[in-house]
Amino acid sequence: MHLDGVTLMAMIFVASFAIDRVVSAVLFLMSFSNRFPDPERETDPVVKAKTAKNYKLWYYGLASVFAILAVADFGKVRILAAIGYPPDPNPLLDAILTAITLVGGADRLAALKLPGAAESAEAAPKPLQVTGTLTLEEGSPRKLSART
């Protein structure tokens, strides 16, 4: 099946979005288990960094499983075959490339900050602190009172 570029990109975008949402939901449910550490709960920076790496590994692993399932289920949706390059592409290579594209797209979608999304606690405004020297000039209060 030969698809135009817009249709192909729309299919990849929708499939990547679905994979991201499903993987995020699974990881959220797994975070309720004490055996699955949540990086947001950690206070020690070293442990938090290690937990974040493990979380990302879980994300990519689960996204890969769902991408493989999507490619297997929707077997006719393959990137190389859709764009017609090469004329008779290797089906295994095409499936692997399509799965990698879906996983990469899901990861990029997860990194997007959509308008209206909840702000994190780190994005809260910090209190304003002013440092320096204040110099008052003679006659300033009279100029100020004359203008009002």
Question: In the structure encoding, which two tokens stand for residue 32, read together?
Answer: 């309720």
**When comparing pLDDT for 107 and 33, which is higher?**
33
Q: Containing domain of residue 20, as a range?
A: 5-113
Q: For residue 117, give the DSSP letter.
A: P
Output the CA torsion sign for 29, 32, 35, 40: positive
Is a pLDDT exceeding 50 seen at residue 121?
Answer: no
Give the CA distances from residue 81 to residues 8, 94, 106, in Å, rounded to whole numbers and listed in that order. 11, 7, 21
Q: Residue range 52-59: average pLDDT?
A: 89
Residue 50 lies in a domain: yes
Tell me how many domains the chain contains. Answer: 1
Is residue 80 within 8 A of residue 88, CB to CB? The reply is no
Q: What is the pLDDT of residue 110?
A: 67
Residue 148 lies in a domain: no
Q: Residue range 85-110: average pLDDT?
A: 76
